[in-house]
Amino acid sequence: MSWLFGIRRNDPSQNIGDHGLPPPSGGDVPSQPNAGGSGDTGVVTVSDKSKKAMEAYRFDSSALERAAQAARELERSKHSKEALELSKLQEITKQQEMQAKIKEYEASIEAAKVEQRKVEGEERRKTLQEETRQHQNRAQYQDQLARKRYDEQLIQQQRMNEENLRKQEESVAKQEAMRKATIEHEMEVRAKLEAKKLEAEMMAKAKADRENQDLFLEQLRLKASENRVTVLESIKTAGSVIGSGVNSLLTDWDKTLTAVGGLSLLALGVYSARNVTALGARFIEARLGKPALVRETSRFSVLESLKHPVKTVKKLQSKPADALAGVVLEPKLEERLRDVAIATKNTKQNKGMFRNILMYGPPGTGKTMFAKKLATHSGLDYAILTGGDISPLGPDAVTAMHKVFDWAGTSRKGLLLFIDEADAFLRKRSSETISENLRATLNAFLYRTGEQSNRFMLVLASNTPEQFDWAVNDRLDEMVEFYFARIRRERTIVEIIFR
């Protein structure tokens, strides 16, 4: 409705033309009078800028006239109401558009505020992160400084400790030097005092000796004369006693015979006691003890029973068992060893001569175990020797070998003498590596095993039987080879272990 009041925002001719109104005539426009009162040549032109400035202060009455004319036209027009409604609708539309723009502006303002809050939050978060990082850096720096200060304090403390220790060591060294100097001074003073004291004593003693020299000489003369008289009297007394005794023995033959008989009986008693003592010791050693070469034996011994009473009782209560119980062997070897066990048991029962056996084969095949089982099955005692123990004895090996066979011959039940590693001393005598002591020991062994015995059974074990002397092979009645078990034997051993 601004065109009704003559407010020209745009060109008024265009606004009125839009509603079907004619433009204003040229006579309505005011014109400036001429300065000279004549035609166009005398018109004073004014610039557009000054005209616009002047029009701002000029009232335009033509606008009111146009408005009134337009109102009359609208009233006479049959579309006046529609035009009014149209103008109202246009105003409402413009208001709605303005409100929509206002809402858009408000929404954009709110969005800007939200975005600003986000930016502020992000800035605040970044600020906090930066503050946190700065705080961490500051804390790390403070920690580094603290650690550095602590390290410097430790270094300073260590230096102070080292300095104190050095001072203490110097102080101790000074004190020790002072103490040594004091002790040396005391010893020197004491030595001087002792020397002076000794010198004074010697001078006093020399002075006393010089003064009492005649008395000492007189005492020495008296002692010498008394000793001489005593010795002479003793010689005279002994000579008279011995002379009278010899005279009485020579004149009385009964006393002479009695003295000679007494001396003879005394000598006989001394020699007899010595020999009887030696024989008794050997008898006790053979009956009660065991030789030094015997490592293990089941033979009853008083000393062993006193040392191991429980083991002795178990041995006495044990009964003869199967010779191959617990021994896993190949079927052929088991059959042959069973024949050996039966023959040995029958020999023991019939009091016959035992057969000497050689068992050879690699280590761990059960030779020693079978020898023990064989002795228990046959009712014999067993004794185990090792050939390696004989060589270190040297010259005493022959005596030790004789003691073993003497001890074996005294067994009442019979003895199975098992010599393990027999090839260590029963080597061929033609070999250059055998020593004289081993050669003598071999000869003693051959001498004691020259004939079969019903007192002991000899069982030799060796890994290399080809090294035996030919005479040793002559003493053997049977040779049994032991060899490693196969899968069946290993399975049987495992079953026995985990049974």
Q: In this predicted model, what pLDDT tens digit does every residue of 436-488 receive, in sequence order? A: 888 899 999 999 998 888 889 999 999 988 889 889 988 999 999 987 765 45
How far is residue 200 from each of residues 147, 205, 207, 216, 423, measured CA to CA in Å? 76, 8, 10, 22, 83
* Single-letter amino acid, residue 348: K
Q: Could you tell me where the beta strands, DSSP code E, fall in 231-356?
A: 296-297
Query: Is 324 exposed, middle or buried (CB count within 10 Å of its CB: 0-12, 13-18, 19+)?
Result: buried
Which pLDDT score, from 0 to 100, does residue 326 have?
62
Pure H helices in 355-396: 367-378
Q: Compute CA 188 distance to the chain's CA centroid, rounded to the nearest angstrom.
A: 58
Which pLDDT score, from 0 to 100, does residue 236 have?
85
Range with the poorest average pLDDT among 188-197, 441-450, 486-495: 486-495
Structural Rg of the chain based on CA atoms: 74
Which pLDDT score, from 0 to 100, does residue 334 have?
84
Which pLDDT score, from 0 to 100, does residue 398 have?
92
Nearest in space to 389 (alpha carbons), one of 362, 366, 418, 421: 421
Strands 296-297 and 381-386: antiparallel
More confident call, 57 vs 393: 393
Distance CA 110, CA 30 (A): 53
Percent of the chain, pLDDT > 70? Answer: 76
Query: Is 334 exposed, middle or buried (CB count within 10 Å of its CB: 0-12, 13-18, 19+)?
Result: middle
Which pLDDT score, from 0 to 100, does residue 366 have?
83
Which pLDDT score, from 0 to 100, does residue 60 have?
64
Which pLDDT score, from 0 to 100, does residue 491 have?
57
Supply the pTM of this predicted model: 0.44
**Contact between residue 305 and residue 290 where contact means Cβ atoms under 8 Å apart:** no
In this prediction, residue 29 has a pLDDT band, given cuts at 50, 70 and 90, of very low
Q: What is the mean pLDDT of residues 483-494?
A: 60
Residues 431-439: contacts with CB under 8 Å, at least 24 apart:
435/391, 437/391, 437/393, 437/394, 437/395, 437/397, 437/398, 438/390, 438/391, 438/397
Which pLDDT score, from 0 to 100, does residue 353 have?
92
In this prediction, residue 4 has a pLDDT band, given cuts at 50, 70 and 90, of very low
In this prediction, residue 307 has a pLDDT band, given cuts at 50, 70 and 90, of low
Percent of the chain, pLDDT > 90? Answer: 18
Q: What is the mean pLDDT of residues 350-356?
A: 91
Strands 357-360 and 381-386: unpaired
What SS3 class is residue 415? strand
More confident call, 45 vs 70: 70
Which pLDDT score, from 0 to 100, does residue 16 have?
40
Which pLDDT score, from 0 to 100, does residue 61 have?
74
Residue indicated by tokens 């701002």: 56
Q: Which helix (H) or strand (E) holds 416?
A: strand 415-420
In this prediction, residue 37 has a pLDDT band, given cuts at 50, 70 and 90, of very low
Distance CA 189, CA 183 (A): 10
In this prediction, residue 85 has a pLDDT band, given cuts at 50, 70 and 90, of confident
Q: Compute CA 448 distance to the chain's CA centroid, rounded to the nearest angstrom.
A: 56
In this prediction, residue 365 has a pLDDT band, given cuts at 50, 70 and 90, of confident
Q: What is the mean pLDDT of residues 370-393?
A: 89
Which pLDDT score, from 0 to 100, does residue 443 have?
92
In this prediction, residue 433 has a pLDDT band, given cuts at 50, 70 and 90, of confident
- Give the HSE-up count for residue 357: Cα atoms under 13 Å, Cβ half-sphere: 27
More confident call, 283 vs 482: 482
**Contact between residue 73 and residue 22 where contact means Cβ atoms under 8 Å apart:** no
Residue 369 has pLDDT above 60, yes or no: yes
Distance CA 197, CA 43 (A): 167
Which pLDDT score, from 0 to 100, does residue 91 have?
86
Overall size of the chain counted in residues: 499
How far is residue 304 from each of residues 299, 310, 407, 413, measured CA to CA in Å? 9, 10, 15, 18
In this prediction, residue 10 has a pLDDT band, given cuts at 50, 70 and 90, of very low
Range with the poorest average pLDDT among 5-14, 28-37, 228-237: 28-37
Mean of pLDDT over the chain = 79
In this prediction, residue 182 has a pLDDT band, given cuts at 50, 70 and 90, of very high
Distance CA 14, CA 425 (A): 152
More confident call, 273 vs 71: 273
Which pLDDT score, from 0 to 100, does residue 221 have?
86
Range with the poorest average pLDDT among 34-38, 239-243, 309-313, 357-361: 34-38
Distance CA 497, CA 499 (A): 6
Nearest in space to 82 (alpha carbons), one of 11, 19, 21: 19
Which pLDDT score, from 0 to 100, does residue 1 have?
45
Distance CA 40, CA 318 (A): 171
**Contact between residue 471 and residue 426 where contact means Cβ atoms under 8 Å apart:** no
Ramachandran region, residue 359 (left: φ > 0; alpha: ψ -120 to 50; beta: rest): beta
Residues 18-21: contacts with CB under 8 Å, at least 24 apart:
19/70, 19/73, 19/74, 19/83, 20/73, 21/66, 21/69, 21/70, 21/73
Ramachandran region, residue 38 (left: φ > 0; alpha: ψ -120 to 50; beta: rest): beta
